[in-house]
Chains A and B, each alone.
Chain A
Amino acid sequence: EVQLVQSGAEVKKPGESLRISCKGSGYSFTSYWISWVRQMPGKGLEWMGNIDPSDSYTNYSPSFQGHVTISADKSISTAYLQWSSLKASDTAMYYCARRIAARGYYVMDVWGQGTTVTVSS
Chain B
Amino acid sequence: EIVLTQSPGTLSLSPGERATLSCRASQSVSSSYLAWYQQKPGQAPRLLIYGASSRATGIPDRFSGSGSGTDFSLTISRLEPEDFAVYYCQLYGSSLFTFGPGTKVDIK
Contacts and interface: CB of A to CB of B under 8 A. Distances in A.
A74 to B, nearest CB: 21
Instruction: Categorize the interface residue count of chain B.
Output: 20 to 34
A105 B51 contact: yes
B97 A105 contact: no
A94 to B, nearest CB: 11
Nearest to A61: B96
A24 interface: no
B99 interface: yes
By secondary structure, the A interface counts as strand
The 9 closest A-B pairs by CB, nearest first: A47-B97, A106-B92, A111-B44, A45-B99, A104-B32, A107-B50, A107-B35, A44-B102, A105-B50
Contacts of B100: 44
A110 B47 CA distance: 8
B15 interface: no
Nearest to A60: B96
A113 B90 contact: no
Interface string B53-82: 010100000000000000000000000000
A107 B92 contact: yes
Interface string B89-107: 0101001111111100000
A31 interface: no
Contact of A105 (B32, B45, B46, B96): B32
Nearest to B54: A105
Contacts of B95: 50, 59
Contact of B45 (A45, A61, A106): A45
Contact of A47 (B30, B54, B56, B98): B98
A53 interface: no
Interface string B17-53: 0000000000000101101010100001111001100
Contacts of B39: 45
